[in-house]
Amino acid sequence: MTSDRTSRPSCVLLDANVVITAHELGVWDWLVRVFRVSVPSVVVRSEALHYCPVSQPGLKVRIDLAAQVMSGRIQQLEGSVKDISQLLEVFDPSFVDSIHAGEAEGLALVANGKAGDAQYCSGDALAIQALAMLGFAGRAVSFEVLLGGKKTGVPLEAQCTEDYLRRNLAIGLEKRITGSGLLKGLLD
């Protein structure tokens, strides 16, 4: 884990829950203006398809990330089946079974360098822990840090906060040390 967890990166790789939350809070357009935004292909195709605006609960609004990729507004990154399979083989099945496809692809993109210098932003506890278990705790960033004090009109959900990120990175680092959730010998 890095000592300076509050600095904002210039390039981010976003998980589906962050994409959806940014849309719900009405900060998506701001986010893509401030950062170079990348999204795993699975998230573009099948995980971040709709949101309900905070200002209009019950209204289901379509998210068209594919159009934003086509226009060059955001970048879609694609992990190969081999990359994702190799990543998943590092973890014990009891741990990895709860990691969604978009998270697995995002983690594989970071682990194999295809995400470049992008910081990975997810609000999913197991994805954050897995990032630390793989030795990439320093590549994690919270949605709260990305917002950098920008007003959202409503309090952030717990999984968007820096405290949540830090707690789950600490759990992941402990698991890395103890080997819990990892198959023995694969990280040696």
Q: How confident is the model at residue 175 (pLDDT cuts 50, 70, 90)?
A: very high
- Which pLDDT score, from 0 to 100, does residue 9 have? 86
- Which stretches of the chain are DSSP H helices? 16-25, 28-34, 41-42, 65-70, 81-88, 93-96, 101-111, 125-133, 143-147, 162-178
Q: Please, what are the domains in the chain?
A: 11-178 (3.40.50)
* pLDDT at 2 exceeding the cut of 70: no
Torsion angle, alpha carbons of 22, 145, 161, 27, to 10 = -20
- Which pLDDT score, from 0 to 100, does residue 4 have? 46
Average predicted confidence (pLDDT) for the chain: 92
* pLDDT at 6 exceeding the cut of 60: no
- Which pLDDT score, from 0 to 100, does residue 183 have? 87
- The percentage of residues in the chain with a pLDDT greater than 90, rounded to a whole number, is 82
Kindly report, residue by residue over 139-156, the tens digit of the pLDDT.
Answer: 999 999 999 988 888 899
